Amino acid sequence: MLLNKRISILDFIKTIKVDIVLISSYAVVVGIFDQYGFLDKISVPIGVTAVFGTAVALLLGFRTNQSYERWWEARIIWGAIVNDSRTLVRQCVSFFERSNDSYEALVGEMANRQIIWCYALGESLRKLPFSHRVIKYTESNKTEAFNIPNALLSEHSETLLKAKEKGMVNDFQQVQIDSTIARLCDSMGKCERIKNTVFPIIFIAIEKTSILMQDPFENQPLDTPMTDLAETIEINIRQMIGETDVPEKKKPTDYYVL
């Protein structure tokens, strides 16, 4: 996707204003020292500058490549979460025995829990307090755990077992749905790996944009848009289970959703 909307130069300057002040101050100080002869006795061999420049280039290249890979991997993972969330609800709608009195209750339970799971995972990765809707759901369902998203997936499995005991799914259908839940758990683990993998401190001062890209779960402008994706999943799920009160997709107020 190509972006055509232009970014204001003022917004760009606001982002780098601290860097501009620091670099300008450094340049002025060096210029004054050079003007008054304080630097005349200092000489740096050209070989040293060549080695230093090569080292900086290598570090910048490493940082940029690794940062983009981490950012893109996070985007791929959340793309898989979107797909698997749709698949999970579609399987429940299609596989559960419709003639059973518990059909609507169990399908609605799985769908609503999956919606909450998406929001809870995004908020936990960003280390933000859980939103009102997540707290309301966990309190009403008495979900207590250190890792709320993982607990919600466990509740998925318990509901699936309940459906099996009621004769609403056969063994093959149970395995299919459980495989989807396992993929969601796998995606969650990948997100946690990216979140908790630390880069050496020497690379942190190299390039600010790459720092933002290498940590796609830090609630920064270049984050993976997990809340936006969770909203998309919610809309898809509610439409799949036949609800008419479907929230509208929120449009970004500033620039783009990456």
What's the confidence (pLDDT) of residue 214?
54
Per-residue three-class SS string for 103-154: HHHHHHHHHHHHHHHHHHHHHHHCCCCCCHHHHHHHHHCCCCCCCHHHHHHH
| Residue 130 near residue 120, CB atoms below 8 Å | yes
Per-residue burial over 124-133, b if 16 or more Cβ lie within 10 Å, else e, is: bbbeeebbee
In this predicted structure, the answer to whether residue 183 has a pLDDT above a threshold of 60 is yes
| Residue 83 near residue 186, CB atoms below 8 Å | no
What's the confidence (pLDDT) of residue 226?
72
**44-91 per-position pLDDT tens digit:** 777 777 777 787 777 777 667 777 888 889 999 999 999 999 999 999
Average pLDDT, the chain: 81
